[in-house]
Amino acid sequence: MPIKSLGRSILHEAAAQNASDIHFIPIKKGGVVQFRIDERLLEYRTLQAEEYVRIISHFKYLARMDIGEHRKPQSGAMDTMINNINLHLRLSAIPSAFNESLVIRILPQQETLSIHELSLFPQVLQKLILLIKRSNGLLLFTGPTGSGKTTMLYSLLQYLQYHYKRQVVTLEDPVERKVDSLLQMEINEKAGVTYGEGFKSLLRHDPDVIMIGEIRDEAAARLVIRASLTGHLVLSTMHAADCMGCIERLREFGIREAELKQTLMGVVSQRLISVPCRYCGDYCDDFCFKSRTFRRAGIYEILSSKDLETAIHTNGHPVMPFYKNLSYYFNHAFAAGFMTKESYEKWMGGQYHVQEETVEKSRARGFSL
C-alpha cells in the first residue's frame, strides 16, 4: 500500500474508533501502531521497518517538521478532514533506542458539548455554574492529559456567551478547537505575540471573560493572577494531580498567599471515565453494540468557598472532614455501577476497596446518569 494511503487509512480508522491518540512505537524490526481508546492503549497493526520509517517521515512532512532530524524531540500540527469531521492533529516525535516514536493527538473540531452532558453527577455542575456566574476571579481546571479540560473550558465559555451574553476572549498556545462565536488569539513568539503582548492586546477588546490556555511556568502564572486582578473572570488550566496539587504548584511559581486569597475563587480537578454498558456490564461486545448506552463522562472535584480558604491557609493540606474529593466520587461511581473494576482500580491506584457504607448509600440514593 502506498504510504499516503496507509497514513490516510490509519487516520480514518482512529477517527472511526473515537481514538484520542495514535502511537507509533518502534521495535527491533519495524514498529507498532496503537490507538488510545477509552483509557486503554490497543494495538491496531504492525509495520515493517521500511514502512515504519516512511510513515513517520510522511506525518512529519505533513506537520511541517524536519524529516531529516531524528536525534532531537520535535512537535508539529496539521488539520485534516476525516469522515466529514474537521480534525486538528498535534504531533510529537522523540528519539528512542530503535527509531523515532511518534504520537498524534486527535482533536475533533466539532460543535462543543453542552455542559449538562459532561458530568456523571449533575449536582457537581450546579456548583460549577454558580462559580462562573461571578463577574471576576480566577477559576482553574487541573487534571492529566486527556481528562477533558479543554472540552469543559469551551463548553463553559459558550454557556456564558449564550446565557449571560458575555464577551469572551481566549489566549492559547495553540488554539486547540476553533469556535466561531469566540474571539481566539494564538501565541506566535516568532511574530512577537507572546503571552504578555497578547494579554495587553486582548484587554483593548473589552472582554468580560478571559481564557488563558495553560499555566506552564511562572510567567503564565503571574499573567493569570494579573488578569484576574483587572476585574475580569479568568479561566485557565494546569497540570496537577488534584486541587491541592494545583495550589502547591502556584506556590512553587512564586504566587503569594495574599494573591491566592484575592483572586482564586475555585479549583476543579477532573477525570474522564468510560461508563460501561447497561446490557453487558462491561465495554460492549458486538452483540449489544447497537443498543449500548456507552459514553464517556467526567468526574469532578471542586475546591471553593471555605474549603478553598482553608486549603490556601494550610499550605494545601487542610483538615476538611466533609470535603468531597475525587476518591469520594470514584467510590460512588463504582458502587452505582458506572465504572468497571478495571477503570476503578486504575484511578484509585490499584486499591480495589469500596466501603460497604459507600456502596449502600450510593444504591439508596439511586445515582444515575
Q: The domain 3-108: what is its CATH number?
A: 3.30.450.90
Does residue 85 or residue 277 have the better pLDDT? 85
Domain ranges of the chain: 3-108, 115-324
- For the segment 178-202, the average pLDDT, to the nearest whole number, is 85
* pLDDT at 58 exceeding the cut of 50: yes
* pLDDT at 320 exceeding the cut of 60: yes
- For the segment 118-147, the average pLDDT, to the nearest whole number, is 90
* pLDDT at 353 exceeding the cut of 60: no
Number of other CB atoms surrounding residue 132 within 10 Å: 21
Fold match between domain 3-108 and domain 115-324: no
Angle at 26 (CA atoms; ends 272, 68), nearest 5 degrees: 110
Query: 256 pLDDT band (50/70/90 cuts)?
Result: very high
Query: 289 pLDDT band (50/70/90 cuts)?
Result: very low
DSSP category for residue 188: B
| Contact criterion met (CB below 8 Å) for 223 and 212 | yes
- For the segment 157-178, the average pLDDT, to the nearest whole number, is 90
Does residue 1 or residue 304 have the better pLDDT? 304
- For the segment 141-145, the average pLDDT, to the nearest whole number, is 88
Give the whole-angstrom CA distance, residue 274 versus residue 281. Answer: 12
In percent, the amount of the chain with pLDDT more than 90 equals 51
pLDDT of residue 339: 83
Query: 358 pLDDT band (50/70/90 cuts)?
Result: low
pLDDT of residue 210: 95
Q: 28, 220, 18: which is closest to 138 by C-alpha?
A: 220
Give the whole-angstrom CA distance, residue 240 versus residue 91. Answer: 23
pLDDT of residue 238: 93
- For the segment 328-342, the average pLDDT, to the nearest whole number, is 86
Angle at 162 (CA atoms; ends 161, 167), nearest 5 degrees: 20
| Contact criterion met (CB below 8 Å) for 141 and 270 | yes
pLDDT of residue 361: 57
Does residue 23 or residue 322 have the better pLDDT? 23
Does residue 362 or residue 37 have the better pLDDT? 37
Per-position b or e across 38-75, b if 16+ CB within 10 A of its CB:
bbeeeebeebeeeebbbbbbbbbebbebeeeeeeeebe
Instruction: Quote the pTM value.
Output: 0.82
* Model pLDDT for residues 196-251, shown as the tens digit of each residue: 888 888 888 999 999 998 899 999 999 999 999 989 999 999 999 889 999 999 99
pLDDT of residue 290: 39
30-37/40-48 β-pairing? antiparallel
- For the segment 8-17, the average pLDDT, to the nearest whole number, is 94
- For the segment 265-290, the average pLDDT, to the nearest whole number, is 68
Q: 297, 123, 323, 128: which is closest to 242 by C-alpha?
A: 323
Q: 52, 18, 54: which is closest to 35 by C-alpha?
A: 18
- For the segment 108-134, the average pLDDT, to the nearest whole number, is 85
Instruction: Please give the mean pLDDT across all residues of the chain.
Output: 85
Q: Considering the domain 115-324, what is its CATH architecture?
A: 3-Layer(aba) Sandwich (3.40)
pLDDT of residue 132: 94
Give the whole-angstrom CA distance, residue 57 versus residue 297. Answer: 36
DSSP codes joined into one string, 100-118: EEEEEEEEE-SPPPPGGGT
